[in-house]
Structure 1
Amino acid sequence: MNRTYAKVVIDGSPISKSNFKLYNTKGRAILPYNSGKYHDRYAIYEEQIAYLSRCQNPGIILSESLIAILKVYYKSSKRHPDTNNITKSIFDGIEKSGLIVNDAQIRRIIIEEFYDKDKPRFELELFGESQYSINYKIVEKDKCDPPLTYSPPPNRKNISRITSQNKIKTSCKKNNKSNSSLKCEVCGKIISTDNLISANNGKTIICKDCFNKLF
């Protein structure tokens, strides 16, 4: 019988792909992998998922439609990525491992969120639909638990490169800093505001030369 089941366990705090994007001069989202900076974390995380997925399931290739049960364990219930966004990061890595052929195979998925401050991780089980089915139901509790309430997300706007540069200029004026105080976070060279790429609302600054070399 062909294998129609696989399980992957990856230690470490799960991260979301959306938190590590930079934008090029045309506004296109890109993910660096060798800048030596914070934004490389996603590409490294994806490679870790791919490597360990294959190590934990040697010789297995799941090519049929699948049911996925994903359990995500965060360090804290207060600060963590949106669990719905985590699935993209995970399945990109799983697909890269060759364990599955295409993440479009995932036709049914259940995601559960837990907290483990000592051992954050995710656990993913994949079941082939030719051999497995899934049944679930919602039941009312006999005794209610205290509700876990959430606050609205902060308002986030997509800031263009020009807007980011204007914010940097304004910040420099407020702090009595000249343009010569701006340095590329990759090469360390002083750059002018018309020769930079910025991300994270102006917190990350890279010169255009280094930016072009990264991709």
Structure 2
Amino acid sequence: MEKPYAKVIVLGSPITKSNFKLSNSKGRAILPNNSGLYHDRYALYEEEIAYNAKIQNPNTCLSEALIAVLKVYYKSEKRHPDTNNITKSIFDGIEKSGLIINDAQIRRLIIEEFYDKDNPRFELELFGESCFKMDYSIISLDFPSKKIEYSPPVNKKRTSLKSIKAKEAIATNKSTCEICNKNISNGAFITANNGKTIVCKKCLLKGR
């Protein structure tokens, strides 16, 4: 008996549609593919995934609960989508192919991020839970490897610095409420306008 298993490889830089929202006149979410606009690429990418999934796994339909192992290979280490958000586009395309019934079947998922500037792609393996189980472990390294550091986006970094400065000013009683012009005691305030505006909680409650 053949075990429930499938593998899909789609070449090219993976894309995500997690931040894309477009609705028709009735408010229903749509995903156009022939408008001639940039966002057509989301639907076209789904169709490409569906085509590859069907061609690579002919006459296969997995209808049971599944374990998924997703390996994403980006072209660049510095500029690429959030890996956690990439699954929506991928599994929508896999579902469209008929390889699975519904992406709700994916009950266990491992995602790994790699880099291959010459051959960006994703590789997805699907295992039926009736014949496979997941087994993984986290192992402490004997010799720590080089850290991969992350920084917040520039706009978020600026906002946080402004907020910190506002809080520092209040902590030293060097700031006043924008509305009542009274000194603000520690903790009794909110900030707005990216930390530029400070309002005491009393004035905030009066305005409600």
TM-score higher than 0.5? yes
CA distance in 1, matches of 2:50, 2:154: 33
Aligned position for 2:40: 40
CA distance in 2, matches of 1:3, 1:62: 10
Aligned position for 2:112: 112
Structure 1 vs Structure 2 CA RMSD: 2.0
How far residue 48 of structure 1 moved from its aligned partner, in angstroms, is: 0.4
Contact 1:20 1:41 in 2 (8 A): no
Instruction: In structure 1, list runs of 5 or more residues that go unmatched.
Output: 157-215
Q: Secondary structure at the match of 1:68?
A: strand
- Does residue 62 (structure 1) correspond to residue 62 (structure 2)? The answer is yes
Instruction: In structure 2, list runs of 5 or more residues that go unmatched.
Output: 157-208
How far residue 19 of structure 1 moved from its aligned partner, in angstroms, is: 4.7
Deviation per CA, 1:40-89, whole angstroms, max 9, x where unpaired?
Answer: 00100000000110000000110000000000000011000000110010
Q: Once structures 1 and 2 are overlaid, which stretch shifts more, 15-24 or 141-150? A: 15-24
CA distance in 1, matches of 2:28, 2:149: 35
Structure number with bigger Rg: 2
How far residue 28 of structure 1 moved from its aligned partner, in angstroms, is: 6.8
How far residue 143 of structure 1 moved from its aligned partner, in angstroms, is: 1.0
Aligned position for 2:76: 76
Superposed, which structure 2 residues align to 1:56-205 within 5 Å?
A: 56-153=56-153
Deviation per CA, 1:21-50, whole angstroms, max 9, x where unpaired?
Answer: 346678875432211121100100000000
Q: Secondary structure at the match of 1:124?
A: strand
CA distance in 2, matches of 1:77, 1:92: 25
Q: Secondary structure at the match of 1:54?
A: helix
Q: What one-letter code is carried by the residue in structure 2 that aligns with 1:134?
A: M
Aligned position for 1:190: none
Contact 2:32 2:43 in 1 (8 A): yes
Aligned position for 1:16: 16
Q: What one-letter code is carried by the residue in structure 2 that aligns with 1:149?
A: E
CA distance in 1, matches of 2:72, 2:50: 17
How far residue 3 of structure 1 moved from its aligned partner, in angstroms, is: 4.0
Q: Secondary structure at the match of 1:46?
A: helix
Aligned length, in residue pairs: 156
With normalisation by structure 1, the TM-score equals: 0.68
Q: Percent identity?
A: 72
How far residue 8 of structure 1 moved from its aligned partner, in angstroms, is: 0.2
Q: What one-letter code is carried by the residue in structure 2 that aligns with 1:108?
A: R
With normalisation by structure 2, the TM-score equals: 0.70
Contact 1:65 1:128 in 2 (8 A): yes
Q: Secondary structure at the match of 1:38?
A: coil
Seen in structure 2, the aligned counterparts of structure 1 residues 54 and 25 have a Cα distance that, compared at 3 Å, is: closer
Q: Secondary structure at the match of 1:8?
A: strand
Contact 2:3 2:131 in 1 (8 A): no
CA distance in 2, matches of 1:23, 1:58: 34
Aligned position for 1:194: none
